[in-house]
């Protein structure tokens, strides 16, 4: 997929795409490496660009799923307020995670993931994206090991984190501490919409899965029936035997058509719905980050106010501790102002991201439902034509 980046005030002609800044990324050629629990899939990631900050016009690197996870984690940590594109989930079931269909679904989802980043005006400028698209495998492995996050902490540190979380939750549940929440009608409306959207998308994806399953089951039933009809035809003579054989052949042909449509339905309808379920979950993670930023802002503002009151008292008393308290107050005030700026940045970015998400969702969902309707129409027409072509021969048998 090729993504172009516009330049403000650029006079370049839109009819000369080669002169426009572009970033084209493709995730291709999945290959299974290793055996047993150590086995994994590697991908060729091909980048073509004329961005000056890149090493050259084309770069090919080998990446594995954990590299994509690294990129996602880095972006989520650094770009608060931006809806970071979602990753496909990791399938831990051995018999499914290396099936040809699962590998292709994963490849397609990873291609969409990295291209959404490459097409995003802010994220495409990320140094981590450039590292992901250009670094050698050894470098990526070293970065993954270094950025293992919470799991690098000592067991004692982990236990303290869990105890702190448990204590915090208990205080809220018991009413000892009321959670600080943002009171904003537009924000409440957004949260309600996102949670409702997740429910409806999940339900739609569940039924799309059932449609795929139904197509496959019907295809298998027709295949089994076709084999039985051909065997029946082999036992009969002349026209009757030929009729049964043609009925069996037509059933097998339709079985193949149903299996093909089932695969198309999976890739072009169920998978896009599943992708948007993941996207909404990513938005919910950003909402959680906004809530944390708001709480931090409020807590720092309250603490700063208390420090200011204490400083005023010490200065009135001409206490020796006034100088030290003033320094603490200034540091705390600076931290409070930074927390406020951080929160306001998240709010502004989320507003822009919500508009962008709505526009993109309209396009993507429109395409998915169009592909669904087109596929069903194609299937219905093909099935009807196949049976219709067989009717004259079967009618001849019934009156003979």
Q: Do residues 83 and 30 both lie within one domain?
A: yes
In a domain, 216, yes or no: yes
In a domain, 170, yes or no: no
pLDDT for the residue numbered 151: 45
- Alpha carbons 109 and 346: distance in angstroms, whole number: 27
In a domain, 186, yes or no: no
Note whether 244 and 228 are within 8 A (CB). Answer: no
Q: Do residues 274 and 372 both lie within one domain?
A: yes
Q: Do residues 230 and 126 both lie within one domain?
A: no
Question: Of residues 42 and 318, which shows the higher confidence score?
Answer: 42
- Alpha carbons 255 and 253: distance in angstroms, whole number: 5
Q: Do residues 248 and 389 both lie within one domain?
A: yes
In a domain, 302, yes or no: yes
Q: Do residues 214 and 126 both lie within one domain?
A: no
**Local structure of residue 20 (DSSP, 8 states):** S
In a domain, 313, yes or no: yes
Mean pLDDT of the 171-189 span: 70
Structure confidence by residue, pLDDT tens digits, 117-139: 999 999 999 999 999 999 999 99
Whether 348 has a pLDDT exceeding 50, the answer reads yes
Q: Do residues 129 and 211 both lie within one domain?
A: no
Q: Across the strands, what pairs with 4?
A: 22
Crossing angle of the two packed helices 271-316 and 185-235, in degrees rounded to 10: 160
Which of 152, 176, 203 corresponds to the end of one domain? 152
Q: From the centroid of its chain, how far is CA 100? A: 20
Sheet of strand 22-33: strand arrangement? 2-4, 22-33, 40-49, 58-64
Helix, strand, or coil (residue 394): helix
Which of 89, 123, 152 corresponds to the end of one domain? 152
In a domain, 127, yes or no: yes
Q: Do residues 231 and 372 both lie within one domain?
A: yes
Q: Do residues 36 and 92 both lie within one domain?
A: yes
In a domain, 174, yes or no: no
Share of the chain above pLDDT 90, in %: 68
Note whether 335 and 300 are within 8 A (CB). Answer: yes
Question: What mean pLDDT is reported for the chain?
Answer: 86
Distances (CA, A) of 333 to 240, 304, 344: 93, 6, 16
pLDDT for the residue numbered 4: 47
pLDDT for the residue numbered 38: 84
- Alpha carbons 33 and 80: distance in angstroms, whole number: 35
pLDDT for the residue numbered 400: 59
Whether 177 has a pLDDT exceeding 80, the answer reads no
Q: Does the predicted model carry a pTM greater than 0.85?
A: no
Whether 155 has a pLDDT exceeding 50, the answer reads no
pLDDT for the residue numbered 1: 53
| Band of pLDDT at residue 79, cut at 50, 70 and 90 | very high
Note whether 106 and 41 are within 8 A (CB). Answer: yes
Q: Do residues 127 and 218 both lie within one domain?
A: no
Q: Do residues 202 and 55 both lie within one domain?
A: no
Please state the domain count of the chain: 2
Q: Do residues 111 and 230 both lie within one domain?
A: no
Q: Do residues 232 and 350 both lie within one domain?
A: yes
Which of 130, 152, 174 corresponds to the end of one domain? 152
| Band of pLDDT at residue 27, cut at 50, 70 and 90 | very high
Mean pLDDT of the 209-231 span: 96
For 324, the domain range is: 195-398
| Band of pLDDT at residue 6, cut at 50, 70 and 90 | very low
Structure confidence by residue, pLDDT tens digits, 251-272: 999 999 999 999 999 999 999 9
In a domain, 300, yes or no: yes
The per-residue DSSP string of 97-157 comes to HTSHHHHHHHHHHHHHHHHHHHHSTTGGG-HHHHHHHHS-HHHHHHHHHHT-GGGGS-HHH
Instruction: Give the helix ranges, DSSP H, for the chain.
Output: 65-78, 94-97, 100-119, 127-134, 137-146, 155-173, 185-235, 238-265, 271-316, 322-399
Note whether 208 and 265 are within 8 A (CB). Answer: yes
Residue 282: name the closest of 59, 120, 93, 391 by CA. Answer: 120
Residues contacting 23, CB < 8 A, separation 6+: 2, 3, 4, 5, 47, 48, 49, 51, 118, 119, 124
Note whether 40 and 33 are within 8 A (CB). Answer: yes
Mean pLDDT check: name the lowest of 35-39, 91-95, 262-266, 387-391.
91-95
């Amino acid at each position: 997929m090729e993504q172009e980046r516009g330049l403000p005030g650029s006079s370049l002609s839109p009819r000369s795409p080669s002169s426009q800044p572009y970033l084209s990324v493709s995730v291709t050629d999945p290959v299974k490496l290793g055996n047993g629990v150590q086995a994994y899939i590697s991908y060729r990631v091909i980048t073509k660009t004329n961005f000056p900050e890149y090493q050259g016009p084309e770069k090919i690197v080998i990446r594995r799923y954990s590299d994509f996870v690294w990129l996602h984690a880095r972006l989520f940590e650094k770009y608060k307020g931006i809806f970071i594109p979602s990753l496909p989930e990791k399938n831990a079931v051995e018999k499914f995670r290396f099936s040809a269909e699962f590998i292709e679904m994963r490849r397609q989802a990873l291609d969409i993931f990295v291209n959404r980043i490459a097409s995003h005006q802010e994220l495409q400028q990320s140094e981590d994206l450039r590292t992901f698209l250009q670094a050698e495998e050894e470098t990526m492995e070293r970065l993954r090991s270094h950025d293992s996050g919470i799991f690098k902490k000592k067991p004692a540190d982990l236990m303290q984190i869990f105890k702190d979380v448990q204590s915090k939750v208990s205080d809220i549940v018991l009413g000892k501490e009321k959670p600080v929440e943002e009171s904003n009608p537009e924000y409440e409306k957004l949260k309600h919409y996102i949670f409702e959207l997740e429910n409806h998308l999940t339900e739609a994806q569940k039924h799309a899965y059932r449609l795929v399953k139904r197509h496959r089951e019907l295809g298998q039933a027709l295949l089994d029936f076709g084999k039985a009809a051909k065997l029946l035809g082999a036992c009969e003579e002349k026209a009757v035997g030929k009729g049964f054989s043609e009925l069996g052949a037509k059933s097998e042909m339709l079985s193949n058509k149903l299996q093909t449509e089932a695969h198309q339905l999976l890739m072009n309808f169920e998978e896009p719905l599943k992708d948007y379920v993941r996207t909404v979950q990513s938005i919910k993670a950003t909402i959680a980050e906004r809530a944390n930023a708001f709480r931090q802002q409020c807590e720092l503002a309250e603490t700063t106010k208390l420090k200011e009151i204490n400083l005023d008292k010490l200065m009135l008393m001409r206490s020796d501790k006034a100088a030290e308290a003033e320094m603490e107050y200034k540091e705390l005030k600076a931290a409070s102002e930074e927390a406020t700026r951080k929160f306001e940045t998240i709010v502004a970015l989320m507003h822009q991201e919500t508009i962008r998400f709505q526009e993109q969702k309209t396009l993507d969902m429109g395409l998915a439902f169009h592909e669904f309707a087109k596929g069903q129409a194609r299937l219905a027409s093909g099935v009807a034509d196949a049976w219709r072509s067989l009717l004259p021969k079967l009618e001849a048998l019934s009156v003979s």
